Amino acid sequence: MIKPHGSDKLNPLYVMDAKERAALATEAEKLPSIVVSSAAAANAVMLGGGYFNPLTGYMNLADSLRVATEMRTAKGLFFPVPVVNVVKDASAIRGKKQIALRDPNVDGNPILAVMDVEAIEEITADQMKLMTEKIFRTLDPKHPGVAAFTGVGNTIISGPIKVLNYSYFEKDFPETFRTAYQLRDQIEKLGWNKVVAFQTRNPMHRAHEELCRMAHKDLNADGILIHMLLGKLKPGDIPADVRDASIRKMVEIYFPKNTVLISGYGYDMLYAGPREAVLHAVFRQNTGCTHLIVGRDHAGVGSYYGPFDAQTIFDTEVPKDALLIEIYRADNTAWSKKLGRVVMMRDAPDHKPEDFVNLSGTKVREMLGKGMDLPVEFSRPEVAHILMGYYQAIDQKK
């Protein structure tokens, strides 16, 4: 199996031993504590599950700045984005060596992790501006990732952590949420050596389905990991439970048995385009996948990034020896009326736009809200039915 990023073995920060975990949880209740941001909580979940391997905790200011500008920590570890715990007010824990981190996303703010505090530093306005611009390629406050990154405060708390639970993800998505170490175990038990991962924050229509099938065939892969983001999204995105149901229905009906793993991970979307595509590659290498599908406008939002910036970053900014996972480069895919099948647009140079079945997100929402069937060339009827129920329920509440 492919090695995890930065080490020979995965180093999840979740406290595996139940007795040790219970004792630490009891001890943590006596510690000074702080309610962290949703982004920092998601970082703890990802550290706990091994997705951020080989990190041992939250980065300090020096590492964060260097990762933002060079994609390297001060010690030279390749990493595409800072993994930080930033707060507005750290007065409750200043001078403390060990603290408890409380979950902002669960009622009662239970303790999520215990942290050894190595440093509490202030981020200057210029430093925040520099990191934001490097990570997101924009300073526009309307960019959802920029708004989230710059809105949590300017005090950075760094140090190693021990994770006690996986926030709301295990309870809300018991059949779907899996850690990187759990996925490595599953892939190993299946005997898969070559595995292609598909990242999604959206439901999957025919084009996405066929893209997975194309990659599986082209790479002669043993299996596919359909890996969905389960954390916070921008307003208007489809909730994780609806996406989960629609993807499971598609796989159940239209993929051969034992060729697809459906899973999800507990992270808030950054919408950081190219940088987030590289982060997605790190995640999937840590799960044991050998390839990641990177398509048009991967992890993008609006018009902040070029359509293939998320592919070219692997050529222009990622050192060749930085990652073991490989990228499967995909073009926009759509149903060809001429050929009667889904194709990558680059493979159909004789086609005009009207030769493809393409619907905008706005048009899809409008049709589903009105109970209108989507073209079967665009979406499987079973998937469209699930999405139709969601949009009609929204419309009824208006």
Token code pair at residue 354: 């009207």
Distance CA 4, CA 10 (A): 6
Residues 146 and 218 in one domain: no
Residue 3 included in any domain: no
Residue 40 included in any domain: yes
Total number of domains constituting the chain: 2
Residues 223 and 249 in one domain: yes
What is the domain-level CATH number for residue 346? 3.40.50.620
Q: What is the per-residue pLDDT for 194?
A: 98
Work out the burial of residue 295: count CB atoms within 10 Å of its CB; fewer than 13 is exposed, 13-18 middle, 19 or more buried.
buried
Residue 310 included in any domain: yes
Residues 224 and 357 in one domain: yes
Last residue of one domain, picked from the residues 155, 170, 185? 170
Residue 12 included in any domain: no
Distance CA 206, CA 212 (A): 10
Residue 1 included in any domain: no
Distance CA 189, CA 298 (A): 30
Residue 11 included in any domain: no
Q: Which amino acid is at 80?
A: P
Closest CA to 380 of 344, 339, 335: 335
Residues 31 and 139 in one domain: yes
| pLDDT tens-place values along the chain, 398 residues long | 999 999 999 999 999 999 999 999 999 999 999 999 999 999 999 999 999 999 999 999 999 999 999 999 999 999 999 999 999 999 999 999 999 999 999 999 999 999 999 999 999 999 999 999 999 999 999 999 999 999 999 999 999 999 999 999 999 999 999 999 999 999 999 999 999 999 999 999 999 999 999 999 999 999 999 999 999 999 889 999 999 999 999 999 999 999 999 999 999 999 999 999 999 999 999 999 999 999 999 999 999 999 999 999 999 999 999 999 999 999 999 999 999 999 999 999 999 999 999 998 889 989 999 999 999 999 999 999 999 999 999 888 76
Residues 298 and 183 in one domain: yes
Q: Angle 328-331-332 (CA atoms, 0-180°, nearest 5)?
A: 135
Residue 2 included in any domain: no
Which residue(s) pair with 87 in the sheet?
Answer: 155
Residues 227 and 155 in one domain: no
Supply the range of the domain harboring residue 277: 174-397
Work out the burial of residue 225: count CB atoms within 10 Å of its CB; fewer than 13 is exposed, 13-18 middle, 19 or more buried.
buried
Closest CA to 87 of 158, 155, 160: 155
Residues 287 and 364 in one domain: yes
Max Cα separation, the chain? 69
Residues 307 and 186 in one domain: yes
Q: Which residues contact 300 (CB under 8 A, 6 or more apart)?
A: 271, 273, 309, 310
Residues 135 and 227 in one domain: no
Last residue of one domain, picked from the residues 120, 138, 170? 170
Residues 103 and 211 in one domain: no
Residues 139 and 214 in one domain: no
What is the domain-level CATH number for residue 44? 3.10.400.10
Distance CA 66, CA 79 (A): 10
State the catalytic residues. 201-202
Task: Verify cis geometry, omega within 30 degrees of 0, for the bond prior to 54.
Answer: yes
Residue 9 included in any domain: no
Q: What is the per-residue pLDDT for 266?
A: 98
Residues 63 and 157 in one domain: yes
The length of the chain in residues reads: 398
Q: What is the per-residue pLDDT for 19?
A: 98
Last residue of one domain, picked from the residues 112, 142, 170? 170
Q: What is the per-residue pLDDT for 52?
A: 98
